[in-house]
Amino acid sequence: MDPLQEANGTFALNLLKILGEDSSKNVFLSPMSISSALAMVFMGAKGTTASQMAQALALDKCSGNGGGDVHQ
Q: For the chain, which residues make up each domain, given as ranges?
A: 3-56
Distances (CA, A) of 36 to 15, 33, 72: 14, 5, 14
Nearest to 56 by CA among 2, 10, 6: 10
Per-residue pLDDT of the chain (72 residues; tens, 9 = 90+): 788 899 999 999 999 999 989 889 888 999 999 999 999 999 999 999 999 999 999 998 776 545 555 555
Q: Which helix (H) or strand (E) holds 49?
A: helix 47-56
Res 61: pLDDT:
78
Task: Quote the pLDDT of residue 30.
Answer: 94
Across the chain, the runs of DSSP E, i.e. the strands, are: none
Q: What's the rounded Cα separation, in Å, for the pair 20 and 25?
A: 8
Give the fold, CATH level 3, of 3-56. Answer: Helix Hairpins (1.10.287)
- Confidence at residue 4, expressed as pLDDT on a 0 to 100 scale: 87
Say which DSSP state 30 is in.
-
